[in-house]
Amino acid sequence: MPIKASTPSSVLLVCLGNICRSPTAEEIFRQQAAIAGLSMKVDSAGTGDWHIGHAPDERAQRHAKAHGYNINKLVARQISADDFRDFDLILAMDAQNLANLQSIKNGITDTDTKLAKLALFSEEDPIYGGDDVPDPYTGDSNAFEEVIERIESSVQGWIESWKI
């Protein structure tokens, strides 16, 4: 598949705690990019520090596995200033996380390198474009299923946007 020169070589997916949405998105993005023939580094992080070092939420693991995505070996981490230097594109799961990321990026003054582009995860999604990926943490089983559906749709939207 021919891809645009502007296609990122690295993507970071970010939510609040890095235990539900972003680790799920990390694995879905990794698999779908590979299927599309894209070679890129994919990782995830959270804006908060509550779950650093923890595995993804057991419910997120269970629902992801049911769809063929194994996230049980991922470990939650908090975003750092280095991530803005190390990744080409940082995608936020919702508007609040996007605002938090923009604030962190605005505070980085000690760099001569190009910093990552920030965008809402659903920005290129033809169905959910501009919508937040809802946090399933306090929700039921349906909330986790909705998150997977939205993430799969948005990942495909990004991949399509990079095709020539």
Show the beta-strand stretches assigned E in 7-164: 10-15, 41-46, 89-92, 117-120
Residue from 57, 94, 125, 135 carrying the catalytic annotation: 135
Question: 20, 21, 77, 132: which is the annotated catalytic residue?
Answer: 21
Pick the catalytic residue: 15, 43, 94, 150? 15
Residue with tokens 């923890």: 54
Is 140 part of the annotated catalytic residue set?
A: no
135 included as an active-site residue: yes
Counting runs of H as helices and runs of E as strands, what totals does the chain give?
5, 4
Specify whether the CB–CB gap between 144 and 136 falls below 8 A: yes
Burial class of residue 43 in the structure, from the number of CB atoms within 10 Å of its CB (0-12 exposed, 13-18 middle, 19+ buried):
buried
Tokens of 4: 């645009």
Q: What is the 3-state secondary structure (H, E, C) of 116-152?
A: CEEEECCCCCCCCCCCCCCCCCCCCHHHHHHHHHHHH
Active-site residue flag, 132: no
Active site residues: 15, 21, 135
